[in-house]
Chains A and B, each alone.
Chain A
Amino acid sequence: MSKGDAQPAPDLSLVQRWFQAVITHPDGLAAGEAASAAEQILPEAPGASRIDDLIAPSSKLSPHERLSVYASAFHARLVECLGETFPILKRTLGEDVFAGFAMGYLQAYPSKSYTLNELGTQFPRYLGESRPPREGEVPDWADFLIELATLEWTIEQVFDGPGIERTPTLTAERLASIEPSKWPTLRLQTAPCLRLLAFAFPVNDYFSAMRQDETAALDMPSPRESWLAVTRRDYVVRRIDLTQAQFAVLSSLQGGAAVEEAIAAADAWLPADDAALAGMIRAWFEQWSATGLFVDVIEA
């Protein structure tokens, strides 16, 4: 602790650790009280209740009833916040099942951030860690839910993260002005808001369909590989479907590869005919630069 900070009052420290343990326990106040006693945070005498010792009653409510307002609020607030961050996942699972996952997550990864905007950081990971074992090689419903959570968390990050609204982006005209002979060695700096996602399910199609009809209860789609770019323009998050080849090229470019290397990385999915390939690549780069996926070009 640096000079100037107050020394913590020991009594308050214990009261706060106890209070927090009691109101945040997923199984309620009594379980929280037992857990805090087990951890030797203000252990209670046999037959006594720390809640009754520490909390005063009001004329209308007992200490337990009063403290339960905080316990209910803790879970309700954070589950609601996660529901706002993962709205399509919540609708897919239904409110109760989603709340169950959310409660488990809050115990496994309690918030350590000063902002609720970070609350969902580990939620996709938690779903992955708590999933049942997959039967066979085929992606299953758990994979789909994890992918859907990954998409929604990516949208959240892209919305409030760094963007291109205040910086110039690489224009199609600037790209077109570069001599063709220099193209193989060009390196393109991708926009800081660009995220590239590969899925085992058509997650973006499902996300769009659910958003289009707010009352829809769609079946989980069958597995089908899909690729997606998530980016932001004018402060609004945009989703761009990609082919596998486009995903491979953009991923390589984002990783710092030169254009020639990036195209080589996608070789398996590209046409063998050179003229057709050149036309296709040109069209992609025009489209991507018009969409603001690149902020700069570095000529070798």
Chain B
Amino acid sequence: MMAMPRLGHANLGLGVGLRSTHYGHILKEQPAVDWFEVISENYMDSQGRPRYVIEQIAERYPLVMHGVSLSIGSTDPLDRTYLSRLKGLAQAVKPKWISDHICWTGVAGRNTHDLLPIPFTEANLKHVVDRVKVVQDILERPFVLENPSTYVTFRGSTMSEWEFTSRLAEEADCGLLLDVNNVYVSSFNHDLDPIEFIRSLPHERIVQFHLAGHSTYPTHLIDTHDNHVIDPVWELYRLAHELTGGVSTLLEWDARIPPFEVVHAEVLKAKRHMRGLEHHPDRVVPTAHDAPSSKIAADAPRPGHHPVGKVLPSDVPHPLHHLTAEVE
């Protein structure tokens, strides 16, 4: 049976990732944002202001829970305590769906707090599929997985990332969160074609898009979420929008976070690209080889563009999700 577009889930419109620096503004101004995505780990154990804020926001806006610590690809046993608390938060704030990343975050009881890559093999696919099924049974809510930005590939991989991602979604019967910026970053880092990546996915399983900015080095890109979305990523978004028919779109901004209005305005730019699609249906979208050697580098210098092939202290890749205490 053919799956329905977005697996039947609603298109929530254009949303913003909730960040603590914007709490005061959002509660006071109640801006006209279509929906919010929250980082699950920042709220599931909170008994303070974060928990209060998420409950207030859940009353006023549609909400999605996005996690960074499920570690679905790890060979450690699933963390039942984590899943129980995740489910508890979901019961309290009633998200439209719960998402995390196709990655592992640690092994042997440790957590690196990074989204680490998985070799794309048949055995590893089965491993992840089996775990997704368990997670879905526990959470009893729609579950969605995101393609992460990655910085290495494994010689032992026997399939492409898009084949692994597509088969994972099909075989585990879960949704996909297509991070368009991650497609761009990983494609540049691994000499892949971002268009082939997006075209190859099961589009009816894509229930959400992510957009974000990244940092550019001559030799690689880093997913820092600290800047505006660049034009080539908007071009890929245009393609993804066309192929899916439009799905819930969310902007993430996690470092050097500007005022809320700036973040909101950034995601609203998506409207232009939806309208643009109607006017330019045959528009050419970028390939991995376009960027950043020609298109982006031509724009240099610009914020986030670094002339050296080394990670700067300020360029901590996503995720860095720690809530700073408010003290008088």
Contacts and interface: CB of A to CB of B under 8 A. Distances in A.
Whether A and B are associated in the same complex: the answer reads yes
A282 interface: no
A9 B82 contact: no
Interface string A28-67: 0000000000000000000000000111101111010111
Interface in A85-138: 85, 110-117, 119
Nearest to B220: A61
A167 to B, nearest CB: 11
A237 B326 contact: yes
Interface in B106-128: 106-114, 116, 118-119, 121, 123-124, 126-128
Given A66-B152, A66-B220, A80 B320 contact: yes
Interface residues of A, number: 65
Contacts of B52: 165, 235
Contacts of B259: none
Contact of A160 (B50, B109, B311): B50
Interface residues of B, number: 73
B114 A73 contact: yes
A288 interface: no
Contacts of B123: 9, 11-12
A113 B85 CA distance: 13
A54 B154 contact: yes
Nearest to B130: A6
A287 interface: no
Contact of B152 (A12, A56, A80): A56
A148 interface: no
Contact of A54 (B76, B155, B315): B155
Tell me which of B42, B45, B69, B109 has the highest count of chain A C-beta atoms within 10 A of its own C-beta.
B45
Given A8-B75, A58-B190, A76-B313, A20 B108 contact: yes
Interface in B1-58: 41-42, 44-50, 52
A215 to B, nearest CB: 19
B154 A9 contact: no
A16 interface: yes
Contact of A115 (B69, B130, B222): B69
A160 B74 contact: no
Contact of B111 (A70, A113, A236): A113
A55 B127 contact: no
A4 interface: yes
A72 B127 CA distance: 29
Given A6-B127, A6-B131, A161 B114 contact: no
Contacts of A9: 75, 123-124, 126-127
B131 A5 contact: yes
A84 B112 contact: no
B77 interface: yes
Contacts of A7: 127
A239 B111 contact: no
A76 B137 CA distance: 36
Nearest to A114: B69
A203 to B, nearest CB: 14
Interface in B127-165: 127-128, 130-131, 133-134, 137, 151-157
B48 A161 contact: yes
B48 A163 contact: yes
B118 A12 contact: yes
Interface string B304-328: 0000011101011100111111111
B290 interface: no
B231 interface: no
Interface string A255-278: 000000000000000000000000
Nearest to A10: B75
Contact of B324 (A76, A84, A238): A84
B170 interface: no
Q: Which 3 pairs across A and B sit closest by C-beta, in order of nearness?
A: A6-B130, A235-B49, A159-B325
10 contacts: A8-B127, A54-B155, A63-B152, A67-B151, A70-B116, A74-B112, A111-B106, A155-B327, A158-B325, A160-B45
Given A5-B130, A20-B108, A73-B311, 19 more contacts: A4-B133, A9-B75, A9-B126, A12-B75, A12-B123, A15-B156, A16-B75, A19-B116, A55-B152, A58-B220, A60-B220, A61-B219, A66-B189, A69-B151, A69-B311, A72-B311, A73-B114, A114-B79, A117-B41
Interface of A: 1, 4-9, 11-13, 15-17, 19-20, 23-24, 53-56, 58-61, 63, 65-67, 69-70, 72-74, 76-78, 80-81, 84-85, 110-117, 119, 155-156, 158-163, 165, 232, 235-239
